[in-house]
Structures are given as C-alpha cells and as structure tokens.
C-alpha cells in the first residue's frame, strides 16, 4: 500500500480504528482535538461508539467501563487533561483493565501554552496516580511510528490487561507527513476468560481496585509487578542509530529523536563518532541496553523538551558508566538540528581533552 | 541532496494552509520526504494563518522551520511577520497586490507579484495561492510543474462536483504562476 | 404441605452476608435489587457498577458480575459498559456522597445523554463509610462530624435535591425518590426501582431512584428512631415522589 500524506492526530485516530477500537471517549483540548473530530466523523458510521464526555475524568472512566468488558477503547487528551485522569490510571493498573490513552503533550506547567513540549514524561511514567503501578508508555518520533505504535498500544493493552499510553507531542499531532497504513499485525488474546459479560453459567466475576483483606493488596501488587517484569523482558524496544562505535551517545525520545538523528548524521559526516539511543518504549525503559551503550561510550548527552525528566532514567540506567550531560528547552521552546549539532561539537571537543588528561 | 523549506502565510481564506498541503502531496507524488506543520490553536484565531513545508530527498529532521529557504507572503502582515525568517540568500514571494511594504533586507531576493490582479484578470474564480505555488516551483525547480498539475487532477476526483469544476481554473493559475518566472514577467 | 413463601434471591451470593450496621438501609435495597433481577431473569446478563462508600462491596453480596468505579465515576464506567454491550443490563449503586456530591456532574451528564442504564442512589445525608461527614444532601442544621454545630447554609450551602434535578434532564425516563421506612414504603421503593429498571429494559432512557435510608451509626440514633427520623424530618426536605415517568406513557 502506498504512502499517503496524513496529519499525526488523524493518523493516530485512523490507526486506532484499524486496530479495532470500538469506543472513543474524549474531551477536546489543543493540540490533539483532531483525534476526537476524526473519531466523531468515522466511529458512528461504523456502528461504533463516540462520546464527547463531560470531562477527562469521565472519558477515562468510560474507557474503564469498556475495558472491563474486554472491548478495545481509547481516550485522548493533552497535558492538563491527562492530569485529570491519573486516579483512573492507577485504578486500571490495579484492577487490570485494558485501555489506550493518547497523550499529545503541550507546554506546561499549569495551563501552560499549546506549543509542543515533552514535559509530561514524569506524568506518564512516574505520575500522579496513587500506589505502585506502571503504565506501558510508547513514544513515536514520526507519523509512521505513531500509526505502528497505536496498533501496538491496543495489542499490548489487551495482551497484558494494562493501560497503554502513546506519548506524542504537539509537533507530531499537528504535522503532516507521508505514512503507510498497514493492516493491524497482531493476534489479540481471547478476553472471554476474564471479561465481564454477566454470570451466565459461570461464577460471578468482579473487576475492582479495592482489596481490603490483610495481605491481599500486597499479593496482588507483587503479582502485577511480576507481570511488569515480563513486559520488560518481552516488549522493550529502542532505536539504535550508529551506536556501535559511538563515543558520544545522544539519548532522546519522541520528535526530539528525529531531530537528534539529523544532528548525528551531520556529526558523522564531519568525522565525529556520535550515535543515538532512542527509547521507543519509555515504560518499560530500555535500561539494560542503555547501560551497555554507555559502557562503550565516553559520554551521554540527553536531549529533551523539558527541564530534564527522562534524564533521571538515563542516569539510573547509565549508573556511572560514563558522564551524562543534559541539554533541553522547556515551555514550548524547541531544539533544532543546528542547536543539537552545536552542542555535539562543544561536548565532543571535551571528550578529546579529557582523554588527553587521562580522565574518563 | 536537494531539500527546501518554505513558509506559506496569508490571511484566512487565501488558502495558505491548503497551498502547503498541495505542495506536500506533490512531494509525495515525486517520492520525496516531506512535512507540513501549521500554526495551530489560538494562533489561528486572529485571521492570519501559516504553515511550514519541508521537501527533501532524505528524512526531514524537524517539521518546524526557524529559518526558511523561502517564504510565500500572500499579504502585507505575512511579509512583515516572516521577512526575518528567510535564510540569508533565500527569497520571498510577495503578493504585491496586498502589500505596500518596502523590502527591509538586502541579503534576500524579493519576488513581487501582483497575484490578485493577475489571477483575477486570468480567471474567475481565481486562486492566488496556487498561482504563487506555480511561481515557487518554477523558481526552485524542487518539484515539477507537471506533478502538481497531476496531483490537482487526482485531488479533484475526490472532492465534490462543485469543487472539482474549479480544476481548470487551478491549472490555469498554477501554469500562469510558473510562466511569470519563466518569462520574467516580474523582476526577480 | 409446606409452601415456600420466602427464599433467598439467586442474585445474592449464598454466603454473602451483609456487613452493614444495625438499622442501615443498604441491605434492604440490595435485596430489592436482587429480587428484581431474579424476577426479570437478568442475572446472567447483569453487570453491576459499584461506587465508593458503604455501597462499595457489591461483589461480596451479589452473585453478579461487578465492575468497580472510583469516587463518583460509576455512571461513566456504566456508560462504557453499556455502550459496548447494549444487550446487557447495567446499573450503578451509589450513595449521596458519591452520586450527588463528588459525582453529580457525571450523574447529570449521564441523564442528559439518556444512557440506557439505571442508578440507585442511597441518600442517608452523610458520608457514611468515612465516618459521618456532611455531604451535598445534608440537611440544614444537621449535625455531622464536619458540621458539629449543625449545617449552616450561610457557611456550607443548602442541601442538593438530586432526584428533582435529574428529573429535569431530557434523557431521564424515570426518576423518583422513595423512603424505606416501613413495609408499605419498601414495597413502593421496589416498584420505583422496577420502573427504573424497565426504563432500561425497554430502552427508554436513564432511570434514577433516590432511596432515603437510615444511617443510625452516624446519625447517633437507635435504628427505630433513625427510621422514624426519615419520615419526620428528612422527607420534609427531600420529599418522596415520582418526578418523572415516561414508562407509563410508553405503555399506553
């Protein structure tokens, strides 16, 4: 199938429909409103459900309702709207309810602005909801990947009975570029073993997140964390761009990854051994692989459109194997290929001087 | 590697955003990498709209353009806003029908075309955005005129009959835009 | 010859003993719901949505599939379930702290959308499970742990009349307030809930029944006195009645 020119938000919506999404529940917010608009146009004509909910709280709880029946459902929002959903994410992880959340980040904190940003990494990975829980978080860097990862989000949600977030940003949501809609490539597991459907010739089931008997919550949480280990083992992915001999390794996620890739290419053309490590799954984070890359490198440069959020996971993964530098902008400020290239030049020089001084 | 970045700006209704999309479709038609990025949200409520288009033989790193190889300014406000965003050595197509601003820079080229007058003399209804694209394509050679005509013809098959009936006008406008440059009808 | 005149509803778990305080109204209403689900033979098709408060442990009492919802969000969870499985019977079981306080926006919007589901809201005019704090429906002058001098409307506003407001929503098919104060009124309550269920079964829209129930523990009253208090005091502020009923019209 040929590539078509498509806007990021619409690509995500279309991919969700192709992935078998039966219900969309959402509340408009820039810069992702085209997702809801696309769903509002297309889901009803397919006989599927579209509701503009009264709030993001309502949206995500409708996703929970759909998820308890084993139905593929999604919501989408942006920064301050995602903030309202945090309680539900925690409940979904605890009750093992599948669901897909599209987060198209804008500038924060507060209402912030509507410019592209990446300052909701913490919100997605460490965020907001109570208790021990983890979302699966996927990070696309271009429209093609947004499509492919939307497919994957629906599959992983059903496969592991856990909420999956596609963490995009305003650039990806608003931009158009050519991309291809392949067929949904996954075989999803049967949900009839656990989904609510009425206690018809079987014992009644419940999908709840309150577990009061002594020891019950600890046992449950331990089991769910064993599942997270399995997810980390099976599903962790990242992009390796010219890492094999890289002395300076860039780390970046999402659209910053594609900008960084161009800077790496230019650095290579100018004889600098630079590579890019771009996590595709932010959760599970590819920490072991990053540690291996760091062991071979002289320095890591972490690039983000925030004040240093993934940086904490990068440092934790590197664990002292080499120094970690950070370069970022916030509040809607962007990193250009030129800016990243200049930073590469600046740091690359210090690598040589450190080597001469015998410093690692 | 040929690549080109252009910002297209105008007021709402002039078709600046659509011109960008049309350019992208043409790039896809020629098998090139391309991106389109609009000014969105509150920024588009004031009546002025713009979009950034990249066309490249290689993957486009960022769809956002700080400094563009070219700017197409369909009105005076757009010229004022984006004059400083043209790369040194780049050029700016100015719709002189709707802008009386004197050029501020000496390191870029200004191609002043009275698009409204020319287009309206040519055909009714007229399409200044498409005429500007004709000039842009001819000036840069980044895409072929035949390609954009083919893309427009294909697009006409997917729209309402009323819109599709405007295809000949669009073709006329894009061809005329190219001829302006080819035949040096304006000072370049 | 013996005739069975009383049996445990199939929709209640055989070993699901109610754990409510003496004189609490929850057990009565849960039993009414179970009886009606049995009567309509809906057990195999029912998905019940629990809420937060004393209304939370549905899965410990009902022999029904149960989905749990966070504070005030049961109507949203129910909406998600019902839209995916329109052939299932879906109801939410909530208290006044849940449906009329933290979740009233959700209640109203669910009613306005005319979702084909049913809400049973127990109104005992306080947050029971957390220890008797004032809720939106708390009466003026009512003593609670957060209004020790009695609710002063000048400081904390006026009681919210949930059923009256829900009845105003165009998507509401049936809306009533009942009080489970004696056998006669319990029968009336059952008939109200029956109509709310039928509104869903017939696809007419949203059904909402507010049930005035005693909370002797937090009202600091013996059970008998607490039940009398409903009729003598609470009903003067939250009057019983049918506020909307299109099911009757539909039958004609």
The CATH number covering residue B26 comes to: 3.40.920.10
Q: Do A204 and C59 touch (CB under 8 A)?
A: yes
Note whether A74 contacts C: Cβ–Cβ < 8 A: no
Beta bridge partners of B94: B73, B112
Residue C16 phi/psi, 5-degree rounding, is: -90, 80
Note whether A43 contacts C: Cβ–Cβ < 8 A: no
Quick one: which of A310, A322, A325, A334 has its CA closest to A253?
Answer: A310
Tell me the C-alpha distance between A280 and A257, whole Å: 10
- The total of structural domains in chain C comes to 1
C243 occurs within a structural domain: yes
Other C-beta atoms closer than 10 Å to the C-beta of B1 total 5
Structure tokens at A241: 């761009």
First to last CA, chain C: 42
pLDDT of residue A128: 87
Going across the sheet that includes A49-52, the strands are: A49-52, A23-26, A73-77, A99-105, A163-169, A136-138, A281-283
Residues of chain C with pLDDT under 50: 252
Helix, strand, coil % over all residues of chain C, rounded to 5: 40, 20, 40
Q: Do B24 and A5 touch (CB under 8 A)?
A: yes
Confidence of residue B1 (pLDDT cuts 50, 70, 90): very low
A202 occurs within a structural domain: no
Of B24, B42, B62, which has the smallest distance from its Cβ to A337's Cβ?
Answer: B62
C5 occurs within a structural domain: no
B188 occurs within a structural domain: no
Tens place of pLDDT per residue across chain A (360 aa): 589 999 999 999 999 999 999 999 999 999 999 999 999 999 999 999 999 999 999 999 999 999 999 999 999 999 999 999 999 999 999 999 999 999 999 999 999 999 999 999 999 999 889 999 999 999 999 999 999 999 999 999 999 999 999 999 999 999 999 999 999 999 999 999 999 999 999 999 999 999 999 999 999 999 999 999 999 999 999 999 999 999 999 999 999 999 999 999 999 999 999 999 999 999 999 999 999 999 999 999 999 999 999 999 999 999 999 999 999 999 999 999 999 999 999 999 999 776 555 544
Q: Do C80 and A210 touch (CB under 8 A)?
A: no
DSSP type of residue C249 = H
C-alpha radius of gyration, chain A, whole number: 21
C53 occurs within a structural domain: yes
Residue C55 near residue C95, CB atoms below 8 Å: yes
Quick one: which of A248, A279, A240, A242 has its CA closest to A341?
Answer: A248
Burial of A138 (0-12, 13-18, 19+ CB in 10 A): buried
Same domain, A228 and A258: no
Q: Nearest-CA distance from B152 to chain A in Å?
A: 14
Residue C229 near residue C213, CB atoms below 8 Å: no
Q: Which of C65, C89, C94, C110 to mutate to test the interface with A (most CBs of A within 10 A)?
A: C65
Q: Which of B17, B21, B62 to mutate to test the interface with A (most CBs of A within 10 A)?
A: B62
Residue of B nearest to A338 (CA): B66
Of A31, A175, A178, which has the smallest distance from its Cβ to B63's Cβ?
Answer: A175
Burial of A89 (0-12, 13-18, 19+ CB in 10 A): buried
Same domain, A218 and A243: no
Q: Nearest-CA distance from A201 to chain B in Å?
A: 52
SS3 C77: helix
- The total of structural domains in chain B comes to 1
Write a three-state SS string for chain B. CCEEEEEEEEECCCCHHHHHHHHHHHHHHCCCEEEEEECCHHHHCCCEEEEEEEEECCCCCCCCCCCEEEEEECCHHHHHHHHHHEEEEEEEEEECCCCCCCCCCCCCEEEEECHHHHHHHHCCCCCHHHHHHHHHHHHHCCCCHHHHHHHHHHHHCCCCHHHHCCHHHHHHHHHHHHHHHHCCCCCC
Q: Do B62 and A174 touch (CB under 8 A)?
A: no
Residue A101 near residue A162, CB atoms below 8 Å: no
Write a three-state SS string for A157-201. HHHHCCEEEEEEEHHHHHCEEEECCCCCCCCCCCCCCCCCCCCCC
Q: Which helix (H) or strand (E) holds C4?
A: none
Q: Using beta carbons and an 8 Å cutoff, which residues of C are at the interface with A?
A: 13, 43-47, 49-50, 56-59, 62-70, 73, 76-85, 88-89, 105-106, 108-109, 113
Tell me the C-alpha distance between A344 and A334, whole Å: 16
Q: Do C88 and A209 touch (CB under 8 A)?
A: no
> For residue A142, which residues of chain B lie inside 8 Å, CB to CB?
59
Q: What percent of chain B has pLDDT over 70?
A: 94
Residue A332 phi/psi, 5-degree rounding, is: 100, -5
Residue of A nearest to C53 (CA): A210
Structure tokens at C2: 């013996």
- The total of structural domains in chain A comes to 2
In this complex, which chains have at least 3 CB pairs below 8 Å with chain C?
Answer: A
Residue A25 near residue A59, CB atoms below 8 Å: yes
Q: Do A175 and B41 touch (CB under 8 A)?
A: no
Beta bridge partners of A138: A166, A281
Note whether A21 contacts C: Cβ–Cβ < 8 A: no
B127 occurs within a structural domain: yes
A314 occurs within a structural domain: yes
Structure tokens at A170: 């305003």
Spacing of C-alpha A226 from chain mean position:
21
pLDDT of residue C3: 83
Report CA torsion sign: B109, B115, B117, B122: positive
> For residue A258, which residues of chain B lie inside 8 Å, CB to CB?
59-62
Q: Nearest-CA distance from C85 to chain A in Å?
A: 8
Same domain, A253 and A231: no
Q: Do B40 and A30 touch (CB under 8 A)?
A: yes
Of A22, A63, A206, which has the smallest distance from its Cβ to C65's Cβ?
Answer: A206
Tell me the C-alpha distance between A230 and A227, whole Å: 5
Bridging pattern class, strands A274-279 and A238-241: antiparallel
Confidence of residue B44 (pLDDT cuts 50, 70, 90): low
Q: Which of A94, A206, A209 to mutate to test the interface with C (most CBs of C within 10 A)?
A: A206
Token pair 């839209």 is found at C83
> For residue B28, which residues of chain A lie inside 8 Å, CB to CB?
3-5, 178
Domain interval for residue B176: 3-182
**Contact C/B (≥3 CB pairs under 8 Å):** no
Of B35, B59, B66, which has the smallest distance from its Cβ to A176's Cβ?
Answer: B35
In this complex, which chains have at least 3 CB pairs below 8 Å with chain B?
Answer: A
Tell me the C-alpha distance between A49 and C208, whole Å: 23
Structure tokens at B123: 């055909």
Question: Which CATH number characterizes residue A276's domain?
Answer: 3.40.50.920
Beta bridge partners of A74: A24, A100
B110 occurs within a structural domain: yes
Domain interval for residue A339: 239-356
C-alpha radius of gyration, chain C, whole number: 17
C61 occurs within a structural domain: yes
Token pair 């700016």 is found at B92
Helices (H), A270-356: 287-296, 310-318, 337-356
Tell me the C-alpha distance between A274 and A341, whole Å: 10
Note whether A163 contacts C: Cβ–Cβ < 8 A: no
Tell me the C-alpha distance between A36 and A55, whole Å: 13
A51 occurs within a structural domain: yes
Q: Do B61 and A263 touch (CB under 8 A)?
A: yes
Structure tokens at A191: 């949900």
Residue A102 near residue A168, CB atoms below 8 Å: yes
Q: Do C83 and A51 touch (CB under 8 A)?
A: yes
First to last CA, chain B: 25
Of A54, A68, A208, which has the smallest distance from its Cβ to C59's Cβ?
Answer: A208
Q: How much is the pTM?
A: 0.94
Residue B47, pLDDT above cutoff 80: no
Going across the sheet that includes A238-241, the strands are: A238-241, A274-279, A248-252, A299-304, A324-328
pLDDT of residue A265: 95
> For residue A206, which residues of chain C lie inside 8 Å, CB to CB?
58-59, 65-68
Residue C176 phi/psi, 5-degree rounding, is: -150, 160
DSSP type of residue A96 = T
**For residue B36, what are the CA distances in angstroms to A357, B54, C147?**
47, 7, 59
C122 occurs within a structural domain: yes
Residue A186 near residue A151, CB atoms below 8 Å: yes
B187 occurs within a structural domain: no
B149 occurs within a structural domain: yes
B43 occurs within a structural domain: yes
Residue A302 phi/psi, 5-degree rounding, is: -95, 130
C14 occurs within a structural domain: no
Of A116, A174, A178, which has the smallest distance from its Cβ to B28's Cβ?
Answer: A178
> For residue B66, which residues of chain A lie inside 8 Å, CB to CB?
336, 338
Residue A173 near residue A32, CB atoms below 8 Å: yes
Note whether B67 contacts A: Cβ–Cβ < 8 A: no
pLDDT of residue B66: 87
Same domain, A258 and A333: yes
Q: Do A68 and C81 touch (CB under 8 A)?
A: yes
pLDDT of residue A356: 53
C9 occurs within a structural domain: no
**Rounded (5°) CA angle C128-C133-C139:** 95
Residue A78 phi/psi, 5-degree rounding, is: -140, 160
Residue of B nearest to A174 (CA): B37
Q: Which helix (H) or strand (E) holds C141?
A: none
Residue B36 near residue B53, CB atoms below 8 Å: yes
Q: Nearest-CA distance from B35 to chain A in Å?
A: 5
Residue A154 near residue A20, CB atoms below 8 Å: yes
Domain interval for residue C211: 26-251
Q: Which of A24, A53, A198 to mutate to test the interface with C (most CBs of C within 10 A)?
A: A198
Q: Which residues contact A102 (CB under 8 A, 6 or more apart)?
A: A12, A16, A32, A35, A74, A75, A76, A77, A150, A165, A166, A168
Question: Which CATH number characterizes residue C226's domain?
Answer: 3.40.50.970
Helices (H), C149-202: 153-156, 162-167, 183-201
**Rounded (5°) CA angle A114-B10-B42:** 20
C240 occurs within a structural domain: yes
Residue C81 near residue A30, CB atoms below 8 Å: no
Q: Do A259 and B61 touch (CB under 8 A)?
A: yes
């Amino acid at each position: 199938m040929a590539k078509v020119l498509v806007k990021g938000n619409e690509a995500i919506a279309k991919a969700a429909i192709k992935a078998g999404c039966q219900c969309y529940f959402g509340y408009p917010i820039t810069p992702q409103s085209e997702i809801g608009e696309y769903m509002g146009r297309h889901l009803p004509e397919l006989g599927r459900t579209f509701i503009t909910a009264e709030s993001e709280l309502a949206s995500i709880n409708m996703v929970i309702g759909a998820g308890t029946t084993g139905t593929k459902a999604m919501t989408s929002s942006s920064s301050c709207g995602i903030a309202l959903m945090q309680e539900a994410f925690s409940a979904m992880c605890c009750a093992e309810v599948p669901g897909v959340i599209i987060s198209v980040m804008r500038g924060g904190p507060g209402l912030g602005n509507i410019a592209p940003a990446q300052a909701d990494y913490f919100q997605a990975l460490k965020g907001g909801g109570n208790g021990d829980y983890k979302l699966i978080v996927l990070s696309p860097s271009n429209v093609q990947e947004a499509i492919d990862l939307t497919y994957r989000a629906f599959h992983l949600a059903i496969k592991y009975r856990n909420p999956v977030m596609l963490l995009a940003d305003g650039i990806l949501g608003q931009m158009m570029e050519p991309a291809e809609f392949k067929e949904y490539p996954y075989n999803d597991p049967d949900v009839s073993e656990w989904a609510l459907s009425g206690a018809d010739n079987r014992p009644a089931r419940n999908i709840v997140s309150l577990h009061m008997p002594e020891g019950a919550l600890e046992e449950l949480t331990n089991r769910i964390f064993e599942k997270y280990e399995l997810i980390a083992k099976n599903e962790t992915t990242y992009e390796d761009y010219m890492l094999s001999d890289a002395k300076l390794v860039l780390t970046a996620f999402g659209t910053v990854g594609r900008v960084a890739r161009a800077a790496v290419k230019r650095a290579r053309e100018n004889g600098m051994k630079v590579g890019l490590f771009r996590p595709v799954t932010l959760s599970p984070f590819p920490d072991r692989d990053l540690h291996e890359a760091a062991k071979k490198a002289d320095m890591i440069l972490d690039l983000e459109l925030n004040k240093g959020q993934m940086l904490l996971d990068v440092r934790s993964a590197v664990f002292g194997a080499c120094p970690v530098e950070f370069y970022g902008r916030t509040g809607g400020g962007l990193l250009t290929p030129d800016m990243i290239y200049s930073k590469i030049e600046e740091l690359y020089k210090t690598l040589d001087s450190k080597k001469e001084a015998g410093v690692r | 590697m040929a690549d080109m970045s252009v910002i297209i700006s105008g007021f709402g209704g002039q078709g600046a955003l659509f011109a960008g999309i049309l350019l992208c479709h043409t790039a896809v038609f020629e098998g090139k990498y391309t991106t389109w990025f609009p000014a969105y949200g509150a920024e588009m409520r004031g009546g002025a709209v713009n979009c950034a288009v990249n066309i490249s033989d290689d993957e486009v790193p960022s769809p956002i353009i700080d400094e563009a190889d070219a700017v197409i300014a369909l009105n005076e406000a757009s010229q004022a806003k984006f004059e400083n965003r043209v790369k040194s050595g780049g050029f700016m197509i100015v719709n002189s029908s709707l802008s009386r601003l004197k050029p501020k820079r000496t390191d870029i080229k200004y191609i002043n075309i009275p698009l409204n007058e020319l287009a309206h003399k040519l055909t009714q209804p007229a399409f200044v955005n498409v005429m500007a694209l004709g000039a842009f394509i001819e000036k840069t050679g980044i895409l072929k005129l035949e390609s954009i005509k083919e893309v427009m013809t294909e697009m006409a098959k997917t729209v309402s009959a009323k819109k599709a009936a405007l295809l000949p006008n669009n073709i006329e406008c894009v061809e005329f835009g190219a001829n302006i440059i080819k035949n040096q009808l304006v000072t370049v | 010859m013996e005739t069975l005149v009383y049996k445990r509803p199939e929709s209640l778990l055989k070993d699901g003993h109610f754990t409510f305080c003496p004189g609490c109204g929850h057990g009565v209403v849960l039993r009414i719901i179970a009886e009606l689900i049995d009567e309509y033979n809906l057990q195999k098709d029912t998905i019940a949505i629990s809420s937060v408060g004393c209304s939370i442990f549905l899965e410990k009492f009902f022999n029904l599939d149960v989905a749990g919802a966070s504070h005030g969000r049961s109507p949203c969870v129910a909406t998600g379930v019902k839209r995916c499985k329109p052939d299932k019977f879906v109801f939410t079981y909530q208290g006044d702290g849940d449906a009329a306080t933290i979740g009233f926006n959700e209640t109203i919007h669910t009613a306005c959308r005319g979702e084909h589901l049913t809400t049973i809201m127990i109104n005992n005019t306080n947050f029971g499970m957390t220890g008797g704090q004032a809720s939106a429906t708390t009466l003026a002058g009512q003593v609670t742990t957060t209004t020790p001098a009695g609710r002063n409307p000048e400081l904390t506003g006026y009681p919210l009349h949930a059923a009256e407001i829900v009845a105003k929503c165009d998507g509401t098919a049936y809306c009533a307030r009942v009080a489970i104060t004696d056998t006669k009124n319990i029968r009336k309550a059952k008939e109200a809930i029956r109509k709310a269920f039928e509104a869903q079964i017939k696809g007419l829209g949203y059904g909402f029944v507010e049930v005035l129930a005693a909370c002797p523990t937090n009202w600091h009253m013996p059970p008998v006195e607490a039940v009398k208090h409903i009729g003598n005091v609470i009903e003067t502020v939250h009057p019983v009645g049918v506020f909307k009923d299109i099911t009757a019209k539909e039958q004609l």
